[in-house]
């Protein structure tokens, strides 16, 4: 396939006018067939990578059902999100084990939809005071043997784990996770600057939904955000749904960390793509009103978003983030954060041919190609 006439995303130059060619499932210098796709009036970008979301279309990753995970993967691909690393919740170990086994079985079957590239364990190794919508009954101190058991159940699919670094044994846990090939994200934490800095220096390289579930950036107490800024390899997430983070703070954070470090996530719930109402979430109930989801009976506690990652990309651009920075934050940076940037995240020759065409006028999806096949 040859995709011609569009403005093509380039990691180094932003957007350039050139053709994009596929040869089977991979990007190539030239095309091995005669199929031509006219991308005039479109931006040509890599398929998106979401490393932090919980569900959509009435399904939740934590339910650990094969049909539910398939529906999630199908919906995400329809939105131009081609690689997903869904997040579990703070749950008992037996349910976390079921989540991991379900993911491994799904990957072995390879049934289509967005590729499930891993598991994000957003809990249970969190802080009670910053648990947010997580269920406090199942919080657990950092536990290396438990992480090993979950990684074994997942057949190596656990790629990311969120941790409150002030919890006992956290620094040893960070090092052990790295040895297992698992990236550690600091989040749902009350850690001060020194503790967060120590965690990043020990190997944590990610921040879970920056600003949410942690102390704010204060001029005398810079906490997690200040520490993350000072360690160049740390990649902060932002939920850019127009609810969790004010547009001014989105602009400020991109300006502070730079587009080469930011990760946009959806943090979407099973209520995504569903009507207003009440829905289960991590052993609790949430209520959805418009684009705002909160814990039932606690309207001040946000429970996650109901916006897809593609919607978050558009929201970031509407806030004034340059399109190239927003695209990078939804593609290459999240892929790099979980170690899959060698095969996706940019449109470089040799990578998988997962491509989305966006209308130049409104960024609506005009075409999706997944591993060389038009969806």
Catalytic residue set:
267
Contact status, residue 125 vs residue 93, Cβ threshold 8 Å:
no
Question: How far apart (Å, rounded) are the C-alpha atoms in residues 365 and 375?
Answer: 12
CA of residue 79 relative to chain centroid, distance: 14
Left (φ > 0), alpha (ψ -120 to 50) or beta: where does 281 sit?
Answer: beta
Contact status, residue 194 vs residue 160, Cβ threshold 8 Å:
no
How is 149-169 classified by DSSP, letter by letter?
A: HHHHHTTT-EEEEEE-TTSTT
The packing angle between helices 170-179 and 193-202, to 10°, is 20
Question: How far apart (Å, rounded) are the C-alpha atoms in residues 172 and 159?
Answer: 18
Q: What is the CA radius of gyration of the chain?
A: 20
Q: Which helix (H) or strand (E) holds 179?
A: helix 170-179
C-alpha to C-alpha distances, 371 to 113, 137, 290, nearest whole angstrom: 11, 42, 34
Starting at the edge strand found earlier in the chain, the sheet holding 48-50 runs: 48-50, 81-84, 115-116
Contact status, residue 309 vs residue 264, Cβ threshold 8 Å:
yes
Q: Which helix (H) or strand (E) holds 100?
A: helix 93-109
């Amino acid at each position: 396939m040859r995709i011609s006439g569009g403005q093509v995303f380039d990691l180094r130059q932003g957007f350039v006018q050139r053709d994009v060619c596929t040869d089977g499932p991979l990007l190539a210098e030239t095309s091995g067939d005669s199929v031509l796709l006219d991308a005039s009036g479109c931006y040509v970008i890599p398929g998106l990578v979401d490393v932090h979301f919980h569900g959509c279309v009435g399904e939740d990753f934590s339910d650990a059902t094969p049909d539910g995970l398939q529906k999630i993967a199908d919906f995400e691909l329809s939105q131009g999100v081609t690689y997903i690393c869904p997040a579990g919740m703070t749950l008992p170990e037996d349910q976390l084990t079921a989540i991991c086994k379900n993911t491994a079985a799904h990957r072995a079957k390879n049934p289509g939809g967005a590729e499930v590239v891993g598991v994000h364990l957003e809990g249970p190794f969190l802080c009670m005071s910053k648990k947010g919508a997580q269920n406090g009954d199942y919080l657990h101190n950092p536990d290396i043997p438990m992480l090993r058991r979950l990684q074994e159940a997942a057949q190596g699919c656990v790629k990311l784990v969120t941790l409150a670094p002030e919890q006992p044994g956290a620094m040893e846990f960070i090092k052990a996770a790295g040895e297992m090939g698992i990236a550690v994200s600091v989040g749902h934490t009350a850690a001060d600057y020194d503790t967060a800095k120590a965690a990043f220096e020990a190997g944590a390289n990610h921040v879970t939904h920056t600003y949410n579930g942690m102390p704010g950036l204060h001029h005398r107490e810079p906490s997690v955000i200040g520490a993350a800024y000072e360690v160049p390899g740390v990649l902060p997430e932002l939920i850019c749904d127009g609810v969790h983070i004010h547009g001014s703070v989105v602009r400020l954070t991109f300006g502070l960390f730079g587009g080469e470090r930011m990760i946009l996530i959806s943090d979407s719930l099973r209520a995504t793509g569903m009507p207003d109402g009440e829905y289960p979430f991590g052993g609790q109930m949430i209520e959805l009103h418009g684009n705002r989801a909160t814990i039932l009976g606690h309207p001040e506690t946000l429970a996650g978003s109901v916006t897809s990652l593609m919607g978050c990309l558009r929201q970031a651009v509407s806030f004034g983030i340059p399109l190239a920075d927003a695209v990078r934050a939804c593609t290459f940076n999240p892929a790099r954060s979980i170690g899959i940037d060698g095969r996706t995240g940019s449109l470089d020759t040799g990578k998988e041919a997962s491509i989305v065409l966006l209308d130049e006028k409104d960024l609506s999806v005009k075409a999706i190609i997944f591993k060389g096949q038009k969806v």
